[in-house]
Amino acid sequence: MLQLKPLDSAVPIFQQLGTEQSPVILVNVFNVEAQDIPALLDAWAADANWMKQQAGYISTQLHRGIGGSTVFLNYAIWESVAHFRAAFSHPDFKSALEHYPSSAVASPHLFERLTVPNLCVGP
């Protein structure tokens, strides 16, 4: 079963789900023991394929730390917090968390894209 650990303990994901914002970026950091990497990848792929079918889903990309790291980062774009909340709270998604290896710890957090003049184009 996947364990959840807040990326920001002052504003955990469940608090963020109560907001209304559009668009929104999910960043989810996974830590897992090396022997559990194949199981993590299988569970993540199944979840990603399910999320892909949900309203408001735009895209996702999984990254792995280099040099033998067992840290993974998922970056997903959603049309709104409301769309992500509906998918994240769905009973099918919740039951899928049982397919993750017991060593897996996820730290999901929602972000907004910012504008920084001459550097970043915002919404």
**Which CATH number does the domain housing residue 72 bear?**
3.30.70.100
Residue 51 forms part of a structural domain:
yes
What distances in angstroms separate CA 46 from CA 18, 53, 95, 105, one per listed residue?
26, 11, 12, 17
Spell out the SS3 assignment of 16-58.
HCCCCCCCEEEEEEEECCHHHHHHHHHHHHHHHHHHHCCCCEE
| Beta-ladder partners of 107 | 29
The DSSP element (H or E) to which 85 belongs, if any, is helix 81-88
Q: Which residues contact 48 (CB under 8 A, 6 or more apart)?
A: 60, 62, 74
| 3-class SS of residue 3 | strand
Q: Read off the pLDDT of residues 35-94 as tens digits, 9 standing for 90 and up.
A: 999 999 999 999 999 999 999 999 999 999 999 999 999 999 999 999 999 999 999 999
Cα(66)–Cα(83) distance, rounded to whole angstroms?
32
Cα(81)–Cα(102) distance, rounded to whole angstroms?
28
Q: What is the pLDDT of residue 70?
A: 98
Q: What is the pLDDT of residue 1?
A: 84
Give me the number of domains the chain comprises. 1
Question: Domain of 104?
Answer: 3-7+22-111
Residue 95 forms part of a structural domain:
yes
Residue 120 forms part of a structural domain:
no
Residue 116 forms part of a structural domain:
no
Cα(113)–Cα(123) distance, rounded to whole angstroms?
7
**Model confidence at 123: pLDDT above 80:** no
